Amino acid sequence: MLRYVVRRLLLLVPILLGVSLLIFFWIRALPGSPAEALLGERATPQLVAQLRERYGLNKPVYQQYFSYLKTTLEGDFGVSVATHRKVADEIKQRFPATIELAIAAMLFAVVVGVPLGFFAAKKYGSFFDHATLVGSLLGISIPIFFLAILLKYFFSVKWQLLPSVGRESVTLNTPHPTNFYILDAIIARDWYALWDAIQHLILPAIALGSIPLAVITRITRASVLDVQNEDYVRTARAKGLAPRAVDRSHVLRNALLPISTIIGLQTGLLLSGAVLTETVFAWPGMGSWLRDAIFNRDYPVLQGGILFLAVVFVIVNLIVDLSYAIINPRIRYS
Amino acid sequence: MRGIKRLALPLVAIIVLVAAGTAGGASRAKTLVFAGASDPTYLDPALVSDGESFRVTNQIFESLVGLRPGSTVVQPRLATSWTSKNAKDWTFNLRKGVKFQDGTPFNSAAVCYNYNRQYNFTGAFQDASATYYWQTVFGGFHHNASPDLSPSLYIGCTAHGPYKVTIHLRTPSGPFLSAQVISSFAIQSPTAMKKYGANSGELRNGVFYPTGSYAFSHPTGTGPFKFVSWTVGQRVVLAKNTSYWGKKARIDQLIIRPISDNTARLQALQSGDVQGYDLVAPEHISTIRANSKLKVENRPSFNVAYVTIHQGPGSPMNDLKVRQAVAYGLDRASVVKSFYAGRGIVANEFQPPQLFGYSKSVTKYPFNPTKAKALLNSSSCHVPCKVDFWYPTNVSRPYMPDPKRNFEAFAASLAQAGFNVVAHSAPWRPDYVKHVNEGTAGDLNLIGWTGDFGDPDNFLGTFFQTYSPQFGFHNNAIFKILAQAEAEKSLAKRIALYKKANNMIMKYLPAVPYAHSQPALGFDKNVKGYIPSPVGTDPFDPVFISGGV
């Protein structure tokens, strides 16, 4: 097991090198440079030339790449050309926001999706089964930003039940040592702040979780349908085990294996795919930050931010792979 | 089915809890929450040039002079009066009894410290991204690091006792005084700047980065609000400065939130999460108006949208008759009527009407396709005269909310006027602007400008005072009169010179102005006393909240 983990971690090196190359050349393939993007109407050719020289963009690309690689290896992601803040500091502040949102979205998707999929399989062909199919299709096909605006329209604007933007009420003054607001509120034993943070999470989590919810529901349904016709399930039933015990210990547990793969993949996607949700909910995470960076051709932010997300994505997948062994003890890593 | 019932229970519980909780529009007596589009860059006004930073620094800091609310008329602020015999040496009498928010006194030493600080900037601080407005107004520094920088217009500051200073300029400058209202020239506490490392900064990967904590957490000025906290991505909190020398702010706390998405800002206002926001999208104005609890405030127009006419070797636009035909062929009135949601006026010259120097006698070019055709047929480019016309995509500017539709309407009217329009488009950032500035965006293109300070030099001087690749023309008469107007000390003479310049420009037609638009702000109806400024220096101290927001 340990050897497997070390091997997987060592694999990170070529993966990240590849990712760094891809990001570096991809963003330079985009037309324009930060100089033009930032100066807008005020971009005189002289100012653009001055900034290009300052940013080192007039050097050969391979030199730029090696200097980027060198500073990145030294742990320096540089400074954003748009906000003038250190990329590492921004990641430190924004990544917890994205993680918190992704976990909440996944929690919503799993807590609602697994039971829905399970019962849809159990009631195969029923109205409930068809309804979950329609619901899943809707979940996948409704654009996130549209769903987000709709949710905000009803829950924030019309009924004023939940806040429409941000991570916490602006009048709160809770300290944030970890930048995970739920955790911070628990550490501070500030239950009002905890409830406030949860309230702010509900709508973005539902919007962001809509696609994973649909996927998990469908996969759970298919997986349960598959497993419940297996010999061992029939044997368990024939042995006279209570139906609920069969479902819990034999059907659901075995059906969870493909679901956990999907959860892992979807969590990775949520981390990078929160762009629209974060923008619509003014959620100060990585997604909205990277979106602005693309518009601003903010090379340091794109290089640092995407590389960081790539590391996280690989680690999440490693954790998912390792979780197989916990879910299914027959799986051994070597 | 039992499973579903079991699921339903927690869901109902959540809904009940949510309903019980106080969301968004909680009562926040005497606190105003306002939304801008993004975070400030820093809170050291000398080092920023963006509107979102200035929105905050304008509340914390004050300059020697300010603007009469809602106008571009210069009025006393930290200086009570000023004189200049030659437009080179400007003497200011300073307000007595003013203290910085850290308790240190405001005096002539503080004024000279602030001007000398920027004048003596070296290294990374001479980067255009760090000191944009110093370089715009004063050119270079005491010791220029780059040969591209011009000699500094500012050459020194003399204190005559504690409450009188003279600022010395290298050459006479008319726009100097108006430019001092920009927050970049606000007077900051020398003690706080020294204590919190305001003068330390470096270039990392070519980007300026202040290394002290002043610009992030200790901005200290004399303004009606003082800094409390800044949570990046979430809010800047300011509190009423109870020791303010003037009329105290009517709210206790001002919170400014960054919300980049237009619809999110609107919904935040509708839900009560904010009580006001800037940069209302034109399509949201009717939604705000239709809501009995909300209202729209108009920012006085301080911009101009125009069609660049690019001249250059072999261009048909070198012929004045062709340029006149373009001007007569653009149906500007229809465009303004159709695509500015009632918030635009047809521009007849390149500066907004409320700015001094506006001329009522410029040559006007109402839509007249017959006249345009006649002009073309007597010119070097006969009907159908082929023109490349560029417009930007993926953008909405305050002066040009819908460029594509502006373009389509203009292309149709030009076709009527005998032009064969070849359409080109490019994404605004960064391709389009680059092509426009380098003069490679066709014969005609759509662009515009929002003014930085209340002086015609910021419009006419920016566009036409010297040769620029964007327009590609050389007209020494225009260049000369604009340079003369900039250096003139007498306001009356400057007004006359700018009027003359406007007349000359509209005869020569280096471009065709077509719209001045009024940007909008959205507010809860209970928010009173907000006076939008044409240049965005909106004060929050007169704002108050009536009833329960």
Neighbours of A144 (CB within 10 A): 20
pLDDT of residue A60: 80
Q: What is residue B429's DSSP assignment?
A: I
Tell me: pLDDT of B510 over 90.
yes
- With CB atoms and an 8 Å threshold, state whether A41 touches B447: yes
Q: What is residue A258's DSSP assignment?
A: H
pLDDT of residue A32: 65
Q: Count of A–B CB contacts within 8 Å?
A: 189
- In the stretch 156-195 of chain A, residues with CB closer than 8 A to chain B read 156-157, 160-171, 176, 195
pLDDT of residue B430: 61
Q: Which of A155, A297, A164, A66 is nearest to B433 (CA)?
A: A297
Least trusted range by pLDDT, from A13-27, A293-307, B9-23, B347-361: B9-23
Q: What does the pLDDT look like over A278-320, one tens digit per residue?
A: 989 999 998 888 888 887 788 889 888 988 888 888 888 788 7
Q: E strands within B6-73?
A: 31-36, 65-67
- In the stretch 1-30 of chain A, residues with CB closer than 8 A to chain B read none
Least trusted range by pLDDT, from A181-195, A250-264, B223-237: A250-264
pLDDT of residue B22: 42
Confidence at A42, pLDDT banded by 50, 70, 90: low
Which residues of chain A are within 8 Å of residue B235 when distances are taken between CB atoms? 166, 170
Confidence at B185, pLDDT banded by 50, 70, 90: very high
CB-neighbour burial class of residue A104 (10 A; exposed 0-12, middle 13-18, buried 19+) = buried
Read off the tokens for B505.
């420009």
Q: Which of B23, B263, B272 is nearest to A150 (CA)?
A: B263
pLDDT of residue B13: 47
Residue among B23, B235, B431 minimizing CB distance to A161: B23
pLDDT of residue A8: 79
pLDDT of residue A35: 64
Residue among A36, A93, A279 minimizing CB distance to B430: A36
pLDDT of residue A84: 81
Q: What does the pLDDT look like over B49-86, one tens digit per residue?
A: 888 999 999 999 999 999 999 988 999 999 999 999 89
Which residues of chain A are within 8 Å of residue B434 when distances are taken between CB atoms? 32, 36, 43, 48
DSSP A59-80: S-HHHHHHHHHHHHHTT---B-
Tell me: pLDDT of B548 over 60.
no
Q: What does the pLDDT look like over B468-497, one tens digit per residue?
A: 999 999 999 999 999 999 989 888 999 999
pLDDT of residue B24: 41
**How far is the C-alpha of A61 from the C-alpha of A52, rounded, in Å?**
13
Tell me: pLDDT of A165 over 80.
yes
Chain A residue at shortest CA distance from B210: A84
Number of H helices, E strands in chain B: 17, 23
**How far is the C-alpha of B432 from the C-alpha of B447, rounded, in Å?**
10
pLDDT of residue B112: 98
Which residues of chain B are within 8 Å of residue A297 when distances are taken between CB atoms? 429-430
Q: Are B245 and B254 in contact (CB under 8 A)?
A: no
Interface test with A, best of B261, B395, B432 (most A CBs within 10 A): B261
- Give the CA distances from residue A225 to residues A107, A121, A219, in Å, rounded to whole numbers and listed in that order: 23, 6, 10
pLDDT of residue B429: 65
Chain B residue at shortest CA distance from A288: B260
Mean pLDDT of chain A: 85
Q: Are B214 and B193 in contact (CB under 8 A)?
A: yes
Q: What does the pLDDT look like over B360-401, one tens digit per residue?
A: 999 999 999 999 999 999 999 999 999 999 999 877 788 888
**How far is the C-alpha of B414 from the C-alpha of B372, rounded, in Å?**
9
Specify the 3-state DSSP secondary structure of A164.
Answer: coil
Tell me: pLDDT of B3 over 70.
no
Quick one: CA torsion of B387, B390, B396, B402, rounded to 10 degrees?
A: 30
pLDDT of residue B27: 43
Q: What is residue B470's DSSP assignment?
A: T
pLDDT of residue B435: 86
Least trusted range by pLDDT, from A305-314, B217-226, B291-300, B501-510: A305-314
**How far is the C-alpha of B211 from the C-alpha of B196, rounded, in Å?**
10
Confidence at B465, pLDDT banded by 50, 70, 90: very high
Least trusted range by pLDDT, from A27-41, A164-178, B407-421: A27-41
**Of residues A166 and A55, which shows the higher confidence score?**
A166
**How far is the C-alpha of B123 from the C-alpha of B120, rounded, in Å?**
10
Least trusted range by pLDDT, from A61-70, A171-180, B501-510: A61-70
Q: Are A227 and A254 in contact (CB under 8 A)?
A: yes
Share of chain B above pLDDT 70, in %: 94
Tell me: pLDDT of B19 over 70.
no
B45: enclosing H helix or E strand? none
Q: What is the mean pLDDT of residues B393-419?
A: 90
Q: What does the pLDDT look like over B325-356, one tens digit per residue?
A: 999 999 999 999 998 888 899 999 999 998 99
Q: What is the mean pLDDT of residues A320-334?
A: 70
Read off the tokens for B545.
């909240």
Tell me: pLDDT of A331 over 70.
no
| Contacts with B99 (C-beta within 8 Å, 6 or more apart), sequence order | B105, B106, B222, B243, B245
- With CB atoms and an 8 Å threshold, state whether A165 touches B257: yes
Q: Are A21 and A307 in contact (CB under 8 A)?
A: no
pLDDT of residue B96: 97
In terms of average pLDDT, the best of A278-287, A293-302, B17-26, B159-168 is B159-168
Tell me: pLDDT of B4 over 50.
no
SS3 letters across B82-96: EECCCCCEEEEEECC
The β-bridge partners of B136 are none
Residue among B206, B233, B273 minimizing CB distance to A56: B206
Q: What does the pLDDT look like over A79-126, one tens digit per residue?
A: 888 888 889 999 998 999 999 999 999 999 999 999 999 999 999 989
Q: Which amino acid would we find at residue A178?
A: T
- In the stretch 264-303 of chain A, residues with CB closer than 8 A to chain B read 279-282, 284, 288-289, 292, 295-297, 300
Confidence at B2, pLDDT banded by 50, 70, 90: very low
**Of residues A166 and A173, which shows the higher confidence score?**
A166
Angle between helices A87-122 and A286-295 (to 10 degrees): 120
- With CB atoms and an 8 Å threshold, state whether A165 touches B268: yes
Q: Report the gap between the CA of B114 and the closest CA in chain A (Å).
A: 22
